[in-house]
Amino acid sequence: MNNKQNPFLIKGYKSAELFCDREEEVQKLYKHAQNGIDTTLISPRRMGKTGLIFRFFDFLKADNNFKSVYVDIYPARSLADFIKLLSEAILRQFPENTTIGQRFFNIIKGLRPLISYDSISGEPQLQITYQTEGEKQQTLQGLLHFLDSQDTEIVLAIDEFQQIASFPEKNIEALLRTYIQQLKNTRFIFCGSRKDMMTEMFSSAKRPFFASTQYLSLDKIGRNIYAGFIIKTFKNNNITIEPEALDFILNWTKGYTFYTQSVCNTAFLLADEIVDLDIVKKSCAELLKSNEAAFFQYRKLLTPAQWEVLIAMAKEGEVSQITSKNFIGKYHVGTPADVRRIVKALLNKELLLETLTKSGGYYQVYDVFLSRWLEKEY
Ligand SMILES: Nc1ncnc2c1ncn2[C@@H]1O[C@H](COP(=O)(O)OP(=O)(O)O)[C@@H](O)[C@H]1O
Ligand SMILES: [Mg+2]
């Protein structure tokens, strides 16, 4: 049993040393920032988008021309929430005792907010009340304008950006686009995991953000690169991982970042000096066990037919022809029309993932743990 600080992060970002690769992506984001290009960053959940943003911001610290702000709008349900989260993000990045922070605090005070401080993190929390819709819009414009008028360039990353599509206010996209167009020194990274929603927003000629950014699609980390990182990271902690154990991890997690990190994290906990196949298999089993309650919950929320399709997908691994005789016949999952309808519903619930490729594309169970669990249990 290992009591040392676990070097395999399954949350957040710590340092370049504990972060695997993404050098090209960091350089691309840097090039965009230097050339005034906004970026749309897309990948399935848990691939490493948020990690990449933090890695990039860490890299950017060496360049005095830039300052960075990160806001995760996943919890936002309205424009007011969005403004609140953005203000708090700015305050976090530029505390009151910095020049920018001082200026920002003065602006914020003009909004007569209730300011409280989180009892654990000590971070400021704002509660702003607005008299009118117009006041809200002005506040948003004011915040962006404030960022834009500093003596450095700003990179503002908005994580889970697709969330704005669900705000009750109808004109948010147009409003934001208009305000953003007025800025001179602020580069945006719009980040999201709903590929359909993000590409619709940025590639449909009918939408305000049409063709306003360049895409960066985050893919799996290359197998050899990840393998090298895992060996090195264990080695730095005086642990040797055996080749077949390493192979097993990368196959079992299908190379997806979060799952690979998770298995390595658990294996690190269980290991003394050596990570062998036995420890890795034990780690995988433990992870499935600890996620089981959530899997039972999914089953409860799905129809039996949906559950059957999910099991069939897990057993196949990847399915490119969902209505083929091969798939339908093998698993008795109904008519082609049934399967099409069910797959659509499961995609919507983010239980299935569709990956498009040159030759068409394929479906798979979104959550790798769920996929491995279904494979094993049914
Ligand atoms: N390049 C990387 N090297 C090591 N760990 C990573 C890397 N990218 C992401 N992670 C870890 O993987 C997990 C999922 O990544 P995250 O950035 O949250 O994914 P996303 O934002 O795409 O959902 C996090 O725990 C993060 O610490
Ligand atoms: Mg994320």
Cα gap 362→69, rounded to integer Å:
36
Cα gap 289→282, rounded to integer Å:
10
Spatial contact of 183 and 145, defined as CB atoms under 8 Å apart: yes
Helices 223-235 and 243-252, interaxial angle, to 10°?
Answer: 130
Mapping DSSP onto H, E and C, the string for 272-328 reads: CCEECHHHHHHHHHHHHHHHHHHHHHHHHHCCHHHHHHHHHHHHHCCECCCCCHHHH
> Phi/psi of residue 156, each to 5°?
-110, 115
> Phi/psi of residue 98, each to 5°?
-100, 165
Q: What is the pLDDT at residue 57?
A: 98
> Cα(44) to centroid of ligand 2, in Å?
9
> Cα(307) to centroid of ligand 1, in Å?
28
For the chain, what percent of residues have pLDDT higher than 90? Answer: 84
Of 28-32, 34-38, 140-144, the range with the lowest mean pLDDT is: 140-144
Average pLDDT of the segment spanning 142-157 = 94
Q: Which atom of ligand 1 is nearest the CA belonging to 45?
A: 23
pLDDT at 136 over 70: yes
Report the predicted TM-score, pTM, of the whole model to 2 decimal places.
0.95
Q: State pLDDT tens for residues 304-334.
A: 999 999 999 999 999 999 999 999 999 999 9
Of 104-113, 129-138, 262-271, the range with the lowest mean pLDDT is: 104-113
Q: Hey, what amino acid is at 215?
A: Y
Q: Which of 17, 24, 46 to mutate to test the pocket of ligand 1 (most atoms within 8 A of CB)?
A: 46
pLDDT at 103 over 90: no
What are the domain boundaries of the chain? 22-217, 222-293, 302-378
Q: What is the pLDDT at residue 109?
A: 77
Q: Hey, what amino acid is at 313?
A: M
Q: With bands split at pLDDT 50, 70 and 90, how would you rate the model's confidence at 115?
A: confident
Q: What is the pLDDT at residue 157?
A: 98
Q: What is the pLDDT at residue 1?
A: 64
Q: What is the pLDDT at residue 99?
A: 86
> Pairing relation of β-strands 39-42 and 114-117?
unpaired
Please name the helix (run of DSSP H) or strand (run of DSSP E) that holds residue 232, with its range, or none: helix 223-235
For the chain, what percent of residues have pLDDT higher than 70? Answer: 99
Average pLDDT of the segment spanning 79-90 = 94
Q: Which atom of ligand 1 is nearest the CA belonging to 9?
A: 27
Domain 222-293 has CATH 1.10.8.60: yes
Cα gap 324→326, rounded to integer Å:
5
Spatial contact of 227 and 241, defined as CB atoms under 8 Å apart: no
Domain 302-378 has CATH 3.40.640.10: no
Q: With bands split at pLDDT 50, 70 and 90, how would you rate the model's confidence at 52?
A: very high
Of 70-79, 84-93, 296-305, the range with the lowest mean pLDDT is: 84-93
Average pLDDT, the chain: 94
Domain 22-217 has CATH 3.40.50.300: yes
Spatial contact of 54 and 70, defined as CB atoms under 8 Å apart: yes
Q: Hey, what amino acid is at 15?
A: S
Cα gap 296→365, rounded to integer Å:
15
Q: With bands split at pLDDT 50, 70 and 90, how would you rate the model's confidence at 131?
A: confident
Which position has the token pair 């929603």? 197
> Phi/psi of residue 219, each to 5°?
-105, 180
Residues with CB under 5 A from ligand 2 (ion): 49-50
Of 91-100, 108-117, 151-160, 205-214, the range with the lowest mean pLDDT is: 108-117
Of 40-54, 106-120, 335-349, the range with the lowest mean pLDDT is: 106-120
Q: Which atom of ligand 1 is nearest the CA belonging to 54?
A: 17
Cα gap 259→226, rounded to integer Å:
12
pLDDT at 100 over 90: no
Q: Which of 261, 263, 266 to mutate to test the pocket of ligand 1 (most atoms within 8 A of CB)?
A: 261
Tokens found for residue 302:
């799905």
At a CB cut-off of 8 Å and minimum separation 6, what does 101 contact? 91, 94, 95
> Cα(12) to centroid of ligand 2, in Å?
9
Cα gap 272→241, rounded to integer Å:
11
